């Protein structure tokens, strides 16, 4: 998260984006990288958290990269970011139908 913020314009005296990414890469036994971009940070985050799909989902929605959420012939658009209320909630709270 620190590296992403830095690649998107934030500043920090704590460490550079390269250093933040390389802390994770070093722990995983990977070679260091330099000059990381925002897209490289997102790729690293996907590799690190690959089995935690919810994190990727919110990243892609936040970055409006809806195509990354398409799979098996299903397409995803901005209109799909909110899930419908469960029926039992609609039954208990009719105001939610509006």
Distance, in Å, from the CA atom of 22 to the CA atom of 70, rounded to the nearest integer, reads: 30
**pLDDT score for 98:** 67
Query: For residues 40 and 23, what is the distance between their CA atoms, to the nearest angstrom?
Result: 15
Q: What is the mean pLDDT of the chain?
A: 91
- Residue 91, pLDDT > 70, answer yes
pTM exceeds 0.85 for this model: no
- Whole-number pLDDT of residue 56: 87
pLDDT digits (tens, 9 = 90+) for 67-89: 998 999 999 999 988 878 888 99
What's the pLDDT at 16? 97
3-state secondary structure 29-93: CCCCCCCCCHHHHHHHHHHHCCCCHHHHHHHHHHCCCHHHHCECCECCCHHHCCCCCCHHHHHHC
* 59 pLDDT more than 70: yes
Q: What is the pLDDT of residues 14-58, one digit of tens each?
A: 999 999 999 999 999 999 999 999 999 999 998 888 778 788 889
């Amino acid at each position: 998260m620190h590296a992403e913020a830095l690649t998107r314009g934030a500043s920090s005296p704590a460490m550079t984006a390269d250093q933040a990414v390389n802390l994770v890469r070093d722990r995983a036994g990977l070679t260091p990288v330099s000059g990381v971009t925002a897209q490289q940070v997102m790729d690293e985050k996907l590799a690190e958290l690959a089995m935690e799909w919810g994190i990727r989902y919110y990243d892609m929605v936040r970055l409006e990269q809806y195509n990354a959420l398409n799979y098996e012939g299903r397409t995803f658009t901005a209109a799909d970011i909110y899930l419908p209320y469960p029926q039992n909630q609609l039954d208990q709270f009719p105001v939610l139908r509006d």
